[in-house]
Amino acid sequence: MNPMIRVGLIGCGFMGRMHANVYQTLENAELIAAVDIKPDVVEKYASDFGISAYTTLEAMLASEQIDAVDVCLPTYLHKEFTVAAAKAGKHVFCEKPMAMSLTEADEMIAACTEAGVQLMIGHCIRFWPEYAILKQITASKKFGELLSVNLTRYGAFPTWSSEDWLSDVTKSGGGVLDMHIHDTDYIHYLLGNPDEIHSWGTVDAKGPSQVFTTMKFGKAIAHLEGGWNLPSGTPFKHAFRAIFERGAAIMDVGPLTIYEGGKEPHVPEIPKMEAAGGGNISDLGGYYHELKYFADRLTNGQPFETVTPQTSRVSLATTLEEIRQMSA
Ligand SMILES: NC(=O)c1ccc[n+]([C@@H]2O[C@H](COP(=O)([O-])OP(=O)(O)OC[C@H]3O[C@@H](n4cnc5c(N)ncnc54)[C@H](O)[C@@H]3O)[C@@H](O)[C@H]2O)c1
């Protein structure tokens, strides 16, 4: 067992910083170098986190001994850099969505398989504590069968992206591929593959920006709603309401609350841990738990199970089907 994985990260923007914050708290993964196409961005990032800076992946790979590459690049670059990292023999953690198309996803899977390296896509909602509790309740059948579930995710259009790549549908896929895919991925995790799927939505200048999808899984019904076309200043929100034969789990206006007929509502305690450099890991939510899982599994020589390249490909395929239906 290798007790520590050495990570090089590419893409020092919003998610690159989020991941660096997580690495500071992990005992078995160390961020040692970073790459960004913008020299000023990577130099500031490297100085903030005390690591080496590069402006190309090749330069980092030539100079640093690393075990894994963490890809936090705009989505249209995921395939190119995942394949390059795999060919260099590095494990890859790549942000969601996996890629822009199934062809790209297949190339990523093939490159990693051929190189004998592991690939994990950052489907963080599977690791988000409240959503992990809902998965546990559903799988245990503690309250009987799940009858219905609503998953909601919306906010104003994110304005932080470099060169405004998020507003270019050919680079981001629009709000449905970029943001709503979180819930599409989660519903697969919760209930498997749907028997039926029907989507409607809104397409604007930034592409498919809002979607309403209804899915059937046997008798269970799921309704997913997501979009980034709300007025600027609208706070981001993610929420769910799951109704079981003998209970309900609701995360909406307040914290996750579990309701069971005849009992007091229960608010599960979400463990809070102090980060090494101060701050609170709970602020990092699923981002902390997914990277911890990535590092734990690699250092223990175990395969990924909670999220695999194949589950991420399925989530991409379903989201692309939602986009096809809503755009028809
Ligand atoms: N898991 C989540 O909740 C979540 C949240 C936000 C974003 N994301 C995903 O993370 C990824 C990155 O998004 P972001 O918001 O951090 O974007 P960003 O624009 O903030 O950061 C991207 C960085 O990549 C750099 N870059 C661009 N092209 C490059 C190249 N060829 N070589 C090296 N560096 C290059 C840019 O200079 C920028 O610093 C996207 O796939 C996005 O969908 C995931």
Residue with tokens 């591929």: 177
CB 222 less than 6 A from any atom of ligand 1: no
Q: Which is the closest atom of ligand 1 to the Cα of 17?
A: 16
Amino acid, single-letter form, for residue 183: D
Q: Which two tokens stand for residue 36?
A: 């960004």
Residue nearest to atom 3 of ligand 1 (CA): 124
Consecutive sets of 10 residues in the chain, 328 residues long: mean pLDDT of each?
A: 88 95 94 98 97 98 98 98 98 98 98 98 97 98 97 95 97 98 98 98 97 98 97 94 98 94 93 56 82 97 97 98 96
> 79 CB less than 6 Å from ligand 1?
no
Please tell me the distance from the alpha carbon of residue 288 to that of residue 26, in angstroms, as a whole number. Answer: 9
Whole-Å CA distances, 9 to 72, 126, 261: 7, 22, 48
What atom in ligand 1 is closest to the CA of residue 71? 11
* Ligand 1 centre distance from Cα of residue 245 (Å): 42
Structural domains of the chain ordered from first start: 5-122 (3.40.50.720), 125-327 (3.30.360.10)
* Closest to 101 in 3D by CA, of 323, 317, 318, 326: 317
Is 38 near ligand 1, meaning CB less than 6 Å away?
A: yes
For ligand 1, is residue 96 a contact (CB within 6 Å)?
A: yes
- Give the residue whose CA is nearest to atom 4 of ligand 1: 15
Residue-level pLDDT at 282: 58
Average pLDDT over the chain reads 95
Q: What is the pLDDT of residue 270?
A: 87
CB 103 within 8 A of CB 50: no
| CB 15 near ligand 1, within 6 Å | yes
pLDDT 10s digits, 239-277: 999 999 999 999 998 899 999 988 999 999 987 665 555
Give the integer Cα–Cα distance in Å for 169 and 206.
Answer: 6
pLDDT digits (tens, 9 = 90+) for 30-58: 999 999 999 999 999 999 999 999 999 99
Please tell me whether the peptide bond between 97 and the residue prior to it is cis, using omega within 30 degrees of 0.
yes
